[in-house]
Amino acid sequence: MQLEPMDRSTPVLAMTLVEKVIARAAGRAAVRPGEIVTAGVDFAFAHDSSGPRRWRPYLEQLGVGIWDPSKVALVSDHYVPAVDAESAAILSDARAFAREYGVSAFFDMVGICHLVLPEHGLIRPGAFIAGGDSHTPMAGAFGTYAAGYGATDMAAIVATGETWLSVPQTVRVEWSGAFQPGVVAKDVMLFLCRELGLDNAFAAIEYGGAAVDAMNMPERMVLANMAAELGFETGVVAPDRITFDYLAAQGRPVDDEAVALALRSDLDCTYRAVHRFDATSLAPQIARPHAPDNVTDADALGDVAIDQAYIGACVGAKLGDLRMAAEVLQGRKVAPGVRLLVAPASSATTEQAAREGILTTLLEAGAILLPSGCGACAGMGAGLLAAGEVCISSTNRNFRGRMGHVDAKVYLGSPYSVAAAAVAGRIVDPRPMLARPGVAA
């Protein structure tokens, strides 16, 4: 993908960031919401569950290979590590597919696709990205159009390099001020689930304001990731110095910062709506069973005792999330009768957490370390729940039956809230546990 400097010699229609990305991918000077266009895909990816085993029969039926293997990545993160012959076969097939179809960007059991791809600098500002997973919008934190697709759509995309879409309207959400200590991007998203509901299909969400500008990339990734929970097809943050520094740190700096900085909504663009919130007044948020919009302030929840606390998934087990957990767990123990499971989102996360002493803090508190992968969040890995059990989880979804038995109850919260619940044995506002002068995190 080559981003071209915008031609200013002729007046162009004012567009949102999302419209700009789509227009370029569609080879158009401008697009308007509601237009049906065909977009060229800059980057496509899938995982072991949604990719090779679904694509292969379709590609064979069509008699074609992958349109451009250099623009496709595969990440084995769902059935990892194999626990039986069936999951071993799925992983084996993914390896064979990557080899046969020439996909060199193949990441085998090193973490969850939505984190592994940015860790390798593969998410480029301005790109049109198609992913075979509903949390693909996480890449929108880098100023991309990134949407999730089912297996048939993805097979068609890797066969042709293009897909159709109806240009979405953009909703802008602005957060002014600064968040209190102990309030993080996960609380923002649970709050937005409550405010905006889950039924926002065929629209995009754009985040901005001083409190978003101040977030690091992993926190912005949480905003973009959970655009999926809100039902938006993509969620974006305009690229800035923080974006460029992150990409440079991965050894893949942007080609031209001035061009990338133009990836922002025009001042006179048209939004479907603009919502403004004050970051200073936001409290830690908890989603009750069985939907991410069943949300309340943590201190208004009432008494909920837990059996399990789970720190995992693309959204909730990045390095920053493990640091949050360690900040709470430093010098404390997991409550008797409670199990705290930690599945770091990538191998790089585990490595760095080990270097920083975070793993030691977690393990001394009584945490059980699990492999990196989608794990129990996808209902596949270790950490599933029995009937009647109660879990608080740093993941993004709590639909009935998602993490095990249909009669299990899953609450969602930030890594702070999950760690605090593990210590207290019940769900609590984590902030009192953070106010500890003299204890280094």
Rounded least distance, CB 201 to other proteins, Å: 4
In the beta sheet, which residues pair with residue 385?
404
Three-class secondary structure assignment of the chain: CCCCCCCCCCCCCCCCHHHHHHHHHCCCCCCCCCCEEEEECCEEEEECCCCHHHHHHHHHHHCCCCCCHHHEEEEECCCCCCCCHHHHHHHHHHHHHHHHCCCCEEEECCECHHHHHHHCCCCCCCCEEEECCCCHHHHHHHCCEEEECCHHHHHHHHHHCEEEEECCEEEEEEEECCCCCCCCHHHHHHHHHHHHCCCCCCEEEEEECHHHHCCCHHHHHHHHHCHHHHCCCEEEECCCHHHHHHHHHCCCCCCCHHHHHCCCCCCCCCCCEEEEEEHHHCCCEEECCCCCCCEEEHHHCCCCECCEEEECHHHHCCHHHHHHHHHHHCCCCCCCCCEEEECCCEHHHHHHHHHCCHHHHHHHHCCEECCCCCHHHHCCCCCCECCCCEEEECCCCCCCCCCECCCCEEEECCHHHHHHHHHHCECCCCHHHHCCCCCCC
Q: Which is nearer to other proteins, 57 or 102 (CB)?
A: 57
36 lies in the binding site for other proteins (CB under 8 A) = yes
Query: Applying CB under 8 A, which of residues 30, 35, 40, 54 lies at the interface with other proteins?
Result: 54
Nearer Cβ to other proteins (182/404): 404
Which residue do the tokens 């890594």 mark?
A: 415
Pair of tokens at residue 321: 């999330």
- Decide if residue 382 touches other proteins (CB under 8 A): no
Q: Under the criterion CB under 8 A, does residue 244 sit at the interface with other proteins? A: no
Shortest CB 327 distance to other proteins, Å: 31
Token readout for 64 is 């074609």
User: Could you tell me the smallest distance in angstroms from the CB atom of residue 197 to other proteins?
Assistant: 8
Q: Which of 186, 139, 168, 149 is nearest to 20 (CA)?
A: 168
* Subset of residues 282 to 301 that bind other proteins, contact rule: CB under 8 A: 291
Report, in Å, the least distance between residue 163 CB and other proteins: 9
Taking CB under 8 A as the criterion, the residue among 198, 214, 434, 441 binding other proteins is 198
**Segment interacting with other proteins, rule: CB under 8 A, options 250-258, 307-315, 327-335, 398-406:** 398-406
Compute the least distance from the CB of residue 199 to other proteins, in Å: 4
Among 261, 369, 384, 441, binds other proteins (CB under 8 A): 384
Does 64 contact other proteins by CB under 8 A?
yes
Considering only residues 246 to 285 of the shown chain, the ones binding other proteins according to CB under 8 A are none
Stretch that binds other proteins, among 241-249, 310-318, 324-332, 379-387 (CB under 8 A): 379-387
> Phi-psi bin for 303: left (phi > 0), alpha (psi -120 to 50), beta?
beta
| 85-104: contacts with other proteins (CB under 8 A) | 86-87, 90
Work out how close the CB of 134 gets to other proteins at its nearest, in angstroms, rounded to a whole number.
4
x/- binding map, residues 142-181, to other proteins, per CB under 8 A?
Answer: -----xxxxxxx-xx--xx---x-----------------
Which amino acid type is present at position 385?
L
Smallest gap from residue 379 Cβ to other proteins (A): 3
Query: In terms of CB distance, is 63 or 337 closer to other proteins?
Result: 63
**Alpha carbons 338 and 181: distance in angstroms, whole number:** 26
**CB-nearer residue toward other proteins: 361 or 396:** 396
**Closest CB to other proteins among 222 and 358?**
222
> Would you give the binding string for other proteins spanning residues 202-241, x where CB under 8 A is met?
x----------------------------x-x--------
Residue 201 is a binding residue for other proteins (CB under 8 A): yes
* Contact characters 115-134, other proteins, x per CB under 8 A: -----------------xxx
CB of 189 to other proteins, least distance (A): 15
Q: How many amino acids of this chain bind other proteins (CB under 8 A)?
A: 46
Nearest-angstrom CA–CA distance, 431 and 414: 12
- Residue 406 Cβ, how far from other proteins at the closest point, in Å? 4
Question: Widest CA span of the chain, in angstroms?
Answer: 69
Residues lying near other proteins in the complex (CB under 8 A): 36, 49-50, 54, 58, 61-64, 86-87, 90, 132-134, 136, 147-153, 155-156, 159-160, 164, 198-199, 201-202, 231, 233, 291, 378-380, 384, 397, 399-402, 404, 406
